[in-house]
Each structure stands twice: as C-alpha cells, then as structure tokens.
Amino acid sequence: MGRRKYFKNRLFISFLILLISFTICVSVDAAGIDKKNASKSGWSLAAYNFGSLGKLSPEAQIDLLKKTGYKGIILSCETKEDFQNLDKYIEKAEKIKDFKIEAVFERYNFNDSTTRTDRWMKVVDKISEKGTQLWIIFGKRVEGITDGFIEEKLREIVSYSALKGVHVVLYPHSKCYIASAEEALPFIEKIGHPNLKLAVHLCHEIRAGNGSRMDQVFERVKDHIGAVTLAGTDSVANFSAPRMMDSSTIKPLGQGNYDLNRFLEPLRNSGYKGAVGFINFKIEEDPETYLDASMKVWRTLTKQ
C-alpha cells in the first residue's frame, strides 16, 4: 500500500508539473501573439494644427490633442505668426508627458524673397536636438527651376540640419514641383544622405491617382520613408474646384469611400515604425468632436 501511494503521489506531481508547464507555454504564446499584433499596429497618431483646431491657442491645441489620445502635433510654418508661435508650442509640448512636436513643415516657394525662402534655417535652429523633423515642400513649378536646383537646395538643407541634429523629410504635395512619393524618390536616392527621407501622404497620393496602387508605392519607397500621413478620403479626388479637391481627399477618419486598410496594410508591410499624421486641413467641425471620432476609428483600424 505504501509503494502504491508513493507512485500515485509521483503520478499526481508529474501531472501537476505538466499542467503548469502547459499553462506557462500557452501564456507565453498568447503574450507573443499580442506583442506581434502590437508591433504590427503600434504607430502613434499625431495631428496637424489645421482647420478648427488651428484657431485655438498653441497651449489649448496641445491640451485637446492630449485629451483625445493623440501623441503629437505637426506644425505649419507658413506665416510669421506661425514662426513666432513655435516657441509656445515647444514650451508647452516639453511639459506634457508622452507628447511631442513630430514635425514642422516649411514651404519653399521659388518666387518668394530670399529672406522668406531661407527661414527654414531659423526653424532648424529652434527645433535643434528636440527629435522634431523638418518637412520641406518645394512649391509650384516656375520657369527656370530644374531638378538640379532642387537637388542643390536639398543638399544644403540636409547638411545644415544634420549639424543641428534635425532629420529632413522631403514632402510631396499636389500641384507642386514634387507631387508624390515616387517623384520624391530619385532625389532621395541621388543625394543618399542618412539624414534625408521622404513622406507618403495618402491625400496627395490619391490626387496623383495612386490610391489603388498603394502597395506598389510603398514597395518602391519603403527603404526611405521618414513620415506618413493620412485622412479620410474618397477613392478619386474631385478636381472641379480647389475646395472640392481638398474636401474630397481630406476628411475625418471614417469618412469617404476609400478603404483605409488599402493604405495601412502596405504601410505595415513596409516596416515603417514612426508616427502617423492625421491631416485635418480645412476641417471646420468642432475640433474635439472630429478628433475624438477620428481617434476611435484609428484605434479600430489599428487594433489599439
């Protein structure tokens, strides 16, 4: 009887060890799956200071974005007031945990004065070593401006920014010298500077007719992506009027007939790990309402 009881106890202990081991393995596997899914859709979401949001003070903008779940802000620097307000945004953002100024973008218009076109230097000085990118848009084509000029100017911008610890992103924009990510790619490859990347903007890709081939776009540029933005959009841009072009390709997330998964899936496959920007140009709805609604859609799309 003693030996029988001994073997029964050993059998029970062995079974218990196997059960515990199985439970641990299942837990580890589950954790691994969760971790894998998180890595697939773990981008943070930032928003531009556009539309109705841009009518608030810099401090109020950041407070509202933080409240509605955004992790950053992307700043336009079109006007003198925009430039002067940079300090306010920087001071406020530095006080907020898990929030940052993702980028400041400058537009280089060829007919502007030298004082205006060279203001990017002062922007770089302000954001030096702060983890904020400089996004550069080259404006509408004008006679006499060539690829050679763009390359030379871009080299100058990148070299200066690298000394200041600022990464540069070439920003394709519809109806400008460089209108899509694939048009930006040759400049990035030719210059070949580690401090220079390009941006993929859904609204501008839609306007360029690339909405149905985003998988091909991402495959071509995947090694050079430094920034990504999206918005709710229709599958085809309405070019009947400038305002219709904007409103058909820039909407709160969840609006428009374009399936955002057609953009997010190739983005995921590209290996991009940075922040994603929500462009809200001329969206005049109550900012808290559309920002909150868009964040809910974003979390559903990315399973966050």
The mean pLDDT of 6-29, rounded to a whole number, is 43
* CA–CA dist 135, 112 (Å, integer): 18
Task: Using pLDDT thresholds of 50, 70 and 90, give the confidence band for residue 260.
Answer: very high
- Give ∠ CA 148-151-156 in degrees, rounded to 5: 130
Q: Where are the alpha helices (DSSP H) in 41-93?
A: 58-67, 80-93
Angle (deg, nearest 10), helices 80-93 and 58-67: 50
pLDDT for position 304: 82
**Architecture (CATH level 2) of domain 44-302:** Alpha-Beta Barrel (3.20)
pLDDT tops 50 at residue 21: no
pLDDT for position 26: 35
Query: What pairing do the DSSP bridges indicate for beta strands 100-108 and 72-76?
Result: parallel
Amino acid at 265: E
Q: Using the structure block, give the residue that is written with the tokens 């050079």.
A: 224
Domain-wise residue ranges, the chain: 44-302
Amino acid at 24: I
- Token pair listed for 118: 């060279």
pLDDT tops 80 at residue 18: no
Classified as helix, coil or strand, 75 is strand
Q: Using the structure block, give the residue that is written with the tokens 């790990």.
A: 273
Q: Would you give the end-to-end CA distance of the chain in angstroms? A: 58
Q: Tens of pLDDT along 82-140?
A: 999 999 999 999 999 999 999 999 999 999 999 999 999 999 999 999 999 999 999 99
* CA–CA dist 293, 162 (Å, integer): 38
Q: Tens of pLDDT along 130-158?
A: 999 999 999 999 999 999 999 999 999 99
Contact 197, 166 (CB under 8 A): no
From the number of C-beta atoms within 10 Å of its C-beta (0-12, 13-18, 19+), residue 241 rates as exposed
**SS3 sequence, 114-154?**
HHHHCCHHHHHHHHCCCCCEEEEEECCCCCCCCHHHHHHHH
Amino acid at 26: V
* CA–CA dist 234, 182 (Å, integer): 21
The mean pLDDT of 201-213, rounded to a whole number, is 98
pLDDT for position 41: 54
